[in-house]
Structure 1
Amino acid sequence: MTDSPRPLVLSLGEPAGVGPEIVAAAWRELRGQTSFAVIGDAALLRGHAPVRPVMEPGEAVGLFSDALPVIDMPLPAPVTPGQPDAANAGVVADWIEQGVSLVLDGQASGLVTAPIAKAPLYAAGFRFPGHTEFIAELTADAPYRGTRGPVMMLTARDLRACLVTIHVALDQVPELVTAERVIRTSRVVHETMKRDFGIARPRLALAALNPHAGEGGALGLQEIEVLAPAVATLRAEGVDITDPRPADTLFHDEARRTYDAAICLYHDQALIPVKTLDFWGGVNATLGLPIIRTSPDHGTGFDIAGKGVARPDSLIAAIRLASEMAAARSAG
């Protein structure tokens, strides 16, 4: 792998979680392959790796092989592994905001976000469900040519699974899976495959909602009344997308070779195959934004924080994917 034109930035996430140790492990693994600057507390990271404070991301390129570059934004309260503190939540949010700003300003090629903990953020007044919605608002006024997201994409090995609905109760899914949502999600994915993955003619596979794709209406009408009209609209726009396919036959090895991304209708329809294919190395990417953003597909790991057993596989994969997407967007 070669460096992107500019380095990535990486927000440290929840300081009492596994973020500091997996960031240090990712730096050790990726030296000589790519470069990034961490936005976080330099003193906290010194317990995990040799640290070099920097003022801007560009400084990371020359020193990445020798030390972990950190844009130092110190925390106000001490950190105890496994014990999040709402007193630090405001700075955790500031790390993310600074990362977005550096990418929008052209100083960094993309943002990788280490996991955050929602409870301390909410206790401190954070008003967003999570990273995705926060970053979407931070980039809302930035110029962007294309269909706006955010759309969540999970990747594992050769699977890209993109979600129409995300964290909603299963009994709400049928009413939330509308033709409009399916069309918008598919447009974002189609455009992203071309712009950020260099796929000139993307092939999309649409998962059905009901078993056996509704069995001609015998097992549900959504495929006929919602999904088929959405497919017709997308094809008229030039999007290569399948008819709704039964989800139980969509993710095996042979099936995955027939498409570049799958449009999934609800959380577990995408997450089960992703985590089955690569439980440790899955990546979460946000599509349809003016910036590249990826993150590891796991949480803060409070139960193992500070024990030295956290695996960095997913974060390493997220850094690599962000670098590849940024390079493709820059070349486009």
Structure 2
Amino acid sequence: MSTSQPAAPRRGSTRARRVAHQQAVAAKRHRQRRAALVAIALVVALFAALVIAKADTGHPSSPAAAANAANPSTTGVVVTRATSVPSAVYAAVGTGGTTAQAEPVPGGSAMTVGGKPEVLYLGAEYCPYCAAQRWPLVLALSRFGTFTGLALTESTSTDVYPNTNTFTFLHAAYTSAYLAFTPVEIYDRAGNPLQTPTAAEQQLLQSAGQGGIPFIDLGGATMLRSSGYSPQLLAGMTWTQIAAGLTDTGSPATQAIVGTANRITGQLCELTHNQPAAVCQSPGIRALEAAE
């Protein structure tokens, strides 16, 4: 009687299974590496997107604005034109149809720095109304002294009147024989903290200014809240266009900027006891003071 024996394993079959197993393991490792690389790529892409978004909304401004703001030629031309508006333009524009006037500071007391009346500005780079108000403030103060360090920026792209082109006082210094100027840019274009007001300045902003910006205190006697005109008048205009138009007395934007600057100038002349005479005794300012 014969007994059947199990078939002996064949070497070729064993080798094939081993190769198949190795290939499966290699394929699995390849898939795992590929998945890991994809995950890393996604993280890198997300990080890059966040960086780009931050650059677009943070200080100093959007990419196009940053390029212009970093261009010394553009900045120099804009600052020169804004700080040297001819007296004939001020006289021709007058109030420019603007109606905003300074208000008394409730319970205010004289504010001075180094024996000179202090002009305090509290604002933020993201704020479109601050953007509008910086133009006439620069114009008016330039009639009494000299700025250095003025730079260009624009308001945020996520608020009303987005990307309003303007100056920033962040690194600005002001020299005058008649006035002291203290600017505080509290937040950057993205709304992040930038410069910190003193406790007294913060209290003044909350009490007299009711927390609103821009807030300008003129020597502790009078104050300006918000802008003297709508930022809409500057919509779509570059810094260069706004500055170049400051000699065009028929331009609505120029009438608003120069008209508001004349009103601020009248207030400053009261602080300086009508000095310098070339500014404060000019027919345009005297007519404006008489009308008020």
TM-score under structure 1 normalisation? Answer: 0.26
Give TM-score scaled by structure 2 length: 0.28
